[in-house]
Amino acid sequence: MNIKEGFYPDLKDRKQGYLDITFTKARLIELYLDYVNNFLTVSAFAQWHELTERQAHKVIKRGRELNNA
């Protein structure tokens, strides 16, 4: 995963290619906290935010890392 400081382009998905979405550190943390506080499954989170489950897992993982830093 190539990540530039300050901006986090959404991750490459084998089926869909790159998304035209860029997340800031703050947005990744916000999405992670949204997942922790409001969703029971990654599948529901992905569906709500219109992501694939693979993308959702990566967003949650990176958001967790940034939140705990």
d(CA 27, CA 30): 5
pLDDT at 35: 97
Tokens of 31: 């999405």
Q: ∠ at Cα 21 (13, 68), nearest 5°?
A: 85
pLDDT tens per residue, range 7-58:
444 444 445 545 446 778 899 999 999 999 999 999 999 999 988 898 899 8
Task: Decide: helix, strand or coil at residue 23.
Answer: strand
What is residue 21's predicted lDDT score, i.e. its pLDDT?
61
Provide the residue type at 43 as one letter.
Answer: S
**What pTM does this model have?**
0.70
Residue 55 has what pLDDT? 87
